[in-house]
Amino acid sequence: METEGEVAGVLAHEIVHVVGRHSSEQIAKTQLTQGLAGAAAAVLYDPENPGSAGAAQLAAVVGQMVTMKYGRDDELQADQVGVRIMADAGYDPRSMGTVMQKLGEANQGSSAPEFMSTHPNSENRVEQINQAIAEEFPNGVPEGLIH
C-alpha cells in the first residue's frame, strides 16, 4: 500500500466481512455442501462397480466448487459495500480499485482460473468496484476525499 486511501480500502473491505459475518456463513455453507456432497458420493459409489468411484469424486468436486462460489460472492459484496464505507469515512473509493490492480499484478501468472478460486480475479473485481462507484456516485466521486 502506498497511500492512506489504499489502506482504508483494505480496512473497509475487511469490515464488511466482519459485519456481514462472512466467515461464520462460509463455515456453515461449507459444512452443508460437504455433507450433501458426501451423501451424494455415498449414494453414487458402489464397491462392486469400480467405475462408480468417478461419479463419487465428481460429487465432491462439484461441492467444492459451490463452496468457492460462495467465497467469491462474499468478496464482491465486501468490495461493493466497502465503496460506501470508504466514502462515508472521507476516503476516495477508487483507491480500493488501485489495491485490486496491485494484487492482480503481484499474482500475475500464478493464479488459478476464477471458477477454481475463493476470490474473483483482480480484473473482474476492479470492474465491479468501478461499477459500484458509478452506482453510488452517478454524478461522480465527490471532491476532497482522501486518496
> Could you tell me the pTM of the whole model?
0.73
**Residues in the chain, overall count:** 147
Average pLDDT, the chain: 86
Sorted by where each begins, the domain ranges of the chain are 4-136
Distance CA 50, CA 106 (A): 44
pLDDT in tens, 8-48: 999 999 898 888 886 677 777 778 778 887 887 788 788 88
- Give the alpha-carbon dihedral of 69, 71, 77, 83, to 10 degrees: -130
Q: What cell numbers appear for 132 in the block? A: 459500484
Where the chain has pLDDT below 70, the residues are 22-23, 66-67, 70, 109-116, 118
- Which residue is listed with cell 464482491? 76
